[in-house]
Chains A and B, each alone.
Chain A
Amino acid sequence: GNSVTQMEGPVTLSEEAFLTINCTYTATGYPSLFWYVQYPGEGLQLLLKATKADDKGSNKGFEATYRKETTSFHLEKGSVQVSDSAVYFCALRAGAGSYQLTFGKGTKLSVIP
């Protein structure tokens, strides 16, 4: 079956530090990959996505590259801000004809001034 594994949190960084949150996946076919972010007390928001190998998704300074050879989709940001404090979820949707998202367990990020 499909599964997503992401690094366990919580992750605590100082403002302007470099962020990496690792995500690897197992899927049949050619999945689409997503990063969602959940700010405290809110629902999930799409942060970025990639639909095929070697695609790079980017948004708000965050980036992730779809690596088929390593089945990975690591999230990176060069300089985090306090406002980036949230829970980050890696997710996949299997190939055509698949509706549901399979989520990782989430990684809580806290950025301190």
Chain B
Amino acid sequence: GAGVSQSPSNKVTEKGKDVELRCDPISGHTALYWYRQSLGQGLEFLIYFQGNSAPDKSGLPSDRFSAERTGGSVSTLTIQRTQQEDSAVYLCASRGGGNTGELFFGEGSRLTVL
């Protein structure tokens, strides 16, 4: 696609439910990142995939959070047993294999846990 696509754009769920957020990166981009942004705050790193290497999961806040990237393309971020503090915008970004270092961001998935 032309850009990074994320779905859903908005998700409202009840506390305790599981949610899945999807990211479709730019075709051919080898690196994929997930960040979390709370209202009016900066970006909190969650996880980073680079090609076939083991992902850097150092930013996942708890074992309720997990992510996978199938076939080196689409990624799914799963939050189990959601809590109210999980409410935030979840941003996905991808980066090509060149030397620019530039990340291309999607529009984000806004999660609200009631």
A binds B: no
Point out residues on A near B: beta carbons under 8 Å. none
